[in-house]
Amino acid sequence: MTIDLELPGWLSRVGVFDLETTGVDVTVDRIVTAHVGVLDAKGHQIAARSWLADPGVPIPDGAAAVHGISTEHARRDGRVAREVVEEVTESLRALFAQGVPVVAYNASYDFSLLTHECLRHGIRPLDSPGPIIDPLVIDKAVDRYRKGKRTLEVVAAHYSVPLDGAHEAAADAIAAGRVAQAIARAFPLAATAHELHTQQIGWARTQAESLTEYFIRIGRLDPEEALDGAWPVRDAPA
C-alpha cells in the first residue's frame, strides 16, 4: 500500500476506543474491558485509560478465549460494571466536547453496546456521538473491490500497521487509530471529520444493504431479513 498523502489536520490528534465483551449481541452482552486513548499525528499514544469490569454475568468460554478474561478473573479483579460504563461514557463525552474525533473499528458495535449498557445501568448515553471515524466502513468505501477479509488484523497488515495482542482493548484501539491515519495517507478523505462522519452514515447503510443481498443469495439470511445498517449506533429493536 503506497502511503504518500499529507495527513489531514483533523487526524493529527484523535481519540481511540475499543471494547472487549461477553459476546456479540449489542443489546444483551456486557463490557469486560475497555480502552479510551488519544494519538498524535505520528500515531503515538499521548493519553490513555483502560478498564476491567466485572460484567455481573458469566463470561462465556468462547468470549474468554478471544480476549483472555475469564469469569473468575473479572470477578476477582474487575470493577463494578456501572462505574466502568459511566467512566468510559464520560471519557468519550469529554473527547467529543473538545471536538476530538474518535476512532473505533466497527464503531456501530462498540457504540451500540455502550448505549445499551448505559440504559441498563441508568446512565445518560452519548447523544448523537461524533465525529466518529470507523476504519472498517472507510476502508470498504475507498477500496471497495479489494478481496479478502476486513478484520482489524487483516486490514492493519494491509496498511502495514503493527498489531500486537489482537483482541486486547488497548492494542485494538491503538491499531485502529493508526489504520485510520494510514488510510488518510493513502486515499483522499473529506475536508473535515464531521463531513467524513456524515459520509460514513451513508456508506454503512449501503454496505449493509449489499451484504444483506449477498447473505440472502447464499442462504445465510431469509429474504425478509435485513442487516441493520444504522451507524454509529444501531437502531433499537422494535
Query: What are 173-203's pLDDT values in tens digits?
Result: 999 999 999 999 999 999 999 999 999 999 9
Give the class (CATH, top level) of 9-217.
alpha beta
pLDDT at 1 over 90: no
Query: pTM of the prediction?
Result: 0.94
Q: What is the pLDDT of residue 164?
A: 84
Question: What pLDDT is attached to residue 238?
Answer: 44
Please write the tens of the pLDDT for every residue from 41-59: 999 999 999 999 999 999 9
Residue pair 170/50 in contact by the 8 Å Cβ criterion: yes
Beta pairing, strands 31-39 & 14-21: antiparallel
Structural domain spans, the chain: 9-217
pLDDT at 165: 79
Helix, strand, or coil (residue 46): strand
24 grid coordinates: 456479540
pLDDT tens for 131-150 read 999 999 999 999 999 999 99
Residues composing the chain: 238
State residue 190 phi and psi, 5-degree precision. Answer: -60, 160
Cell 467512566 belongs to 87
178-197 as b/e: b if 16+ CB within 10 A: bbbbbbbbbeebbeebeebb
Helix (H, G, I), strand (E, B) or coil at 118: helix
